């Protein structure tokens, strides 16, 4: 009972932070699932285009979000020491960085059809994907600003707004999709462009709400006062902490995007099944991501206090929650695969049975990497909390691209295993990353500051 008493407050703290964050990610995935669902009803070719385009957009978004996520441990540490000026400086420079890279990202997104064709996608799929990305490219910057504000508010242990804003966007997004994709109520029938327009509208509205919340609850930080004013020392600090996070993110998401491209080489039906299975698997991943982000905050605050025991408790609790969630997910994926896949398809779709057959197999593979995926993302969150990002970047990039993607290509394409082989590569890459990153945290955590200088928490 004595040991449980020391862990119970940490469990409550991680859950209080992590559940709203996980809920916000689930709501975000629900928005993507609605897009996938409605575009899937519209047509299989359009669904294939959305799968590719959504993956590409997500790569840019998560990559640049690394600079927003860098604000979390830095703001958490500054908050723990009461340095409100540093909180403002860090957040402002995070805005600068995501805006700069968001503008640069518009160029490849605008001319994405040529890239799709080079990568072997069918011409119609490539053209529709570019139509989608030319609109959602302009949603990138508001989405990135929201990410910075969520990181700032999470570090200050205000995570509820992240859930309510994202959850509140699900129904408006669905309604806009219904009107714009299919051309209801006198609106033009826009197909994938309708889904993209709905995304842009929802992102702008969500940004307005999060800005209002931040200004109302933390007026003392004056976040947007003289936001045009440069602060190069802090700019450099956020950049140095953020770029390894960005590379790590693009390595992982790029692994899944690369898998989507390999599935596109196998066939349109296989790509559509992959898109649905990934959408379902994303729901579980973002739950782990919520725990990971809570772990970053708790580890960041423990790091600010220089409390090694608190840091250990944050690690034990976060890992235990991730394992529990992974085991529950495995049961669902293995027991209910067909109903999950079929929900995304029109009953009159000619390729329905083929997509379901492939999708059921892919969900079985997804069940295999639940523990690994949860382990690697939770370890990354803990390591970011102690501001250790460069070595984890190397570990992750090598695991995903030095091992995972080659295995996926050899098994899926060279040996002809198809989608199962591609997803087997995902299992291998994520598994190696999970083990290596966990070892990194538990072996490295005590080296971030002298044990002799680390008091226990009161």
Beta carbons within 8 Å of 358's beta carbon, 6+ residues apart: 269, 270, 273, 274, 419
Residue 421 to residues 69, 215, 410, 417, 427: CA-CA distances in angstroms? 33, 50, 8, 5, 10
Asked if residues 26 and 283 have their Cβ atoms less than 8 Å apart, the reply is yes
Question: Cα(first)–Cα(last) distance of the chain, in Å?
Answer: 18
DSSP structure class, residue 417 = -
Q: Does this model's pTM top 0.75?
A: yes
Between 229 and 100, name the one with better pLDDT: 100
Position 240 scores a pLDDT of 93
* pLDDT at residue number 5: 64
Q: Which of 48-57, 64-73, 170-179, 394-403 has the lowest mean pLDDT?
A: 48-57
d(CA 132, CA 118): 18
Contacts by 367-370 with C-beta closer than 8 Å and gap 24+? 367/329, 367/330, 367/333, 367/334, 368/427, 369/426, 369/427, 369/430, 369/431, 370/284, 370/326, 370/327, 370/329, 370/330, 370/333
Is the CB of residue 374 less than 8 Å from the CB of residue 322? Answer: yes
Structure tokens at 264: 């596109």
Instruction: Report pLDDT for 409.
Output: 92
pLDDT on residue 416 = 85
| CA separation for the pair 204, 386 (Å, rounded) | 33
Q: Which two tokens stand for residue 54?
A: 């959504």
Is there a contact between 308 and 445 (Cβ–Cβ < 8 Å)? Answer: yes
pLDDT at 453: 40
Tokens of 74: 């830095």
Residue 296: HSE in the Cβ half-sphere, 13 Å Cα cutoff: 31
As a whole number, mean pLDDT of residues 276-292 equals: 82
User: Percent of the chain at pLDDT above 90?
Assistant: 25
Predicted confidence at residue 457, as pLDDT, reads: 34
- Asked if 90 and 241 count as a contact pair (C-beta separation under 8 A), the reply is no
Q: How many CB atoms lie within 10 A of CB 221?
A: 19
Q: In the structure, what pLDDT confidence band is assigned to residue 449 with cuts at 50, 70 and 90?
A: low
Contact predicate 302/79, CB 8 Å = no
pLDDT of residue 446: 60
Residue 451 is predicted with a pLDDT of 42
Residue 138's closest CA among 95, 196, 98, 187?
Answer: 196
* pLDDT of res. 141: 92
* HSE, side-chain direction, 13 A CA sphere, residue 422: 27
Q: Over range 403-423, report the average pLDDT.
A: 89
Q: What pLDDT score does 133 carry?
A: 93
Give the up-direction half-sphere exposure of residue 63: CA atoms within 13 A in the CB hemisphere.
19
Give the burial string for 264-290 (b: 16+ CB within 10 Å, else e): bebbbbbbbbbbbbbbbbbbbbbbbbb
In the structure encoding, which two tokens stand for residue 384, read together? 């970011």
Is the pLDDT at 346 greater than 80, yes or no?
A: no
Q: Does pLDDT of 415 surpass 60?
A: yes
Q: Is the CB of residue 150 less than 8 Å from the CB of residue 162?
A: yes
Strands (E), 137-237: none
Pull the structure tokens for residue 286: 């973002």
For 286-325, what is each residue's pLDDT tens digit?
Answer: 788 888 888 888 888 888 888 788 888 888 889 888 888 8
Quick one: 433 exposed, middle or buried, by C-beta within 10 A (0-12, 13-18, 19+)?
buried
Angle at 57 between CA 387 and CA 70, to 5 degrees: 15
417 and 424 in contact (C-beta within 8 Å)?
Answer: yes
**pLDDT higher than threshold 70 for residue 16:** yes
Residues 6+ apart with CB under 8 A from 226: none
Q: For the chain, how big is the Rg over CA atoms in Å?
A: 22
**How many other C-beta atoms can be found within 10 angstroms of the C-beta atom of residue 178?**
17
Residue 455: pLDDT band with limits 50, 70, 90: very low
Using the predicted structure, report yes or no on whether residue 62 has a pLDDT greater than 90: no
> At residue 397, does pLDDT exceed 50?
yes
According to the model, what pLDDT value does residue 454 have?
Answer: 40
Report pLDDT digits (tens) over 106-131.
999 999 888 888 877 788 888 888 88
Instruction: Look at the block and give the residue holding tokens 């394992």.
Output: 323
**pLDDT by residue (tens digit) across 183-215?**
888 787 888 889 889 989 999 999 999 999 999
């Amino acid at each position: 009972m004595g040991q449980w008493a020391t862990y119970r407050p940490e469990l409550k703290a991680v859950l209080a932070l992590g559940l709203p964050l996980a809920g916000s990610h689930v709501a975000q995935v629900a928005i993507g699932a609605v897009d996938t669902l409605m575009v899937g009803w519209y047509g299989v070719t359009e669904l294939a285009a959305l799968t590719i385009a959504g993956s590409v957009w997500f790569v840019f978004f998560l990559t640049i979000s690394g600079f927003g996520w860098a604000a979390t441990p830095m703001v958490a540490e500054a908050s723990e020491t009461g340095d409100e000026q540093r909180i403002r400086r860090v957040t402002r420079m995070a805005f600068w960085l995501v805006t700069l890279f968001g503008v640069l990202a518009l160029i490849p997104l605008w001319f994405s059809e040529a890239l799709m064709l080079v990568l072997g996608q069918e011409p119609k799929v490539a053209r529709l994907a570019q139509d989608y990305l030319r609109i959602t490219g302009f949603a990138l910057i508001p989405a990135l600003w929201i990410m910075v504000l969520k990181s700032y508010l999470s570090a200050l242990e205000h995570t509820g707004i992240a859930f309510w804003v994202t959850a509140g966007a699900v129904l408006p997004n669905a309604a806009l999709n219904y009107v714009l994709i299919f051309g209801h109520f006198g609106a033009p029938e826009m197909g994938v462009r309708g889904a993209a327009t709905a995304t842009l509208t929802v992102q702008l509205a969500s940004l307005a709400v999060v800005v209002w919340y931040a200004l109302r609850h933390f007026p003392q930080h004056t976040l947007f006062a003289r936001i045009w004013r440069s602060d190069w020392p802090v700019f450099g600090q956020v950049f140095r902490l953020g770029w390894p996070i960005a590379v790590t993110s693009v390595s992982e998401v790029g692994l899944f995007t690369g898998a989507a491209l390999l599935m596109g080489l196998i066939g349109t039906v296989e790509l559509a099944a992959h898109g649905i299975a990934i959408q379902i698997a994303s729901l579980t991943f973002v739950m782990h991501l919520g725990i990971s982000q809570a772990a970053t905050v708790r580890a960041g605050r423990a790091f600010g206090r220089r409390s090694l025991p608190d840091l250990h408790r944050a690690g034990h609790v976060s890992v235990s929650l991730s394992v529990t969630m992974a085991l529950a997910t495995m049961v669902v994926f293995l027991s209910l695969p067909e109903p999950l896949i079929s929900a995304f398809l029109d009953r009159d779709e000619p390729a329905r049975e083929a997509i379901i057959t492939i999708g059921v197999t892919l969900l079985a593979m997804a069940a295999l990497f639940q523990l690994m995926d949860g382990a690697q993302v939770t370890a990354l969150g803990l390591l970011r909390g102690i501001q250790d990002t460069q070595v984890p970047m190397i570990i992750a990039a090598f695991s995903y691209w030095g091992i995972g993607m080659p295995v996926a290509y050899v098994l899926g394409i060279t040996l002809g295993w198809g989608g199962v082989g591609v997803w087997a590569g995902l299992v291998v890459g994520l598994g190696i990353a999970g083990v290596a990153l966990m070892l990194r945290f538990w072996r490295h955590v005590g080296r971030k500051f002298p044990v002799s200088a680390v008091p226990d928490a009161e």
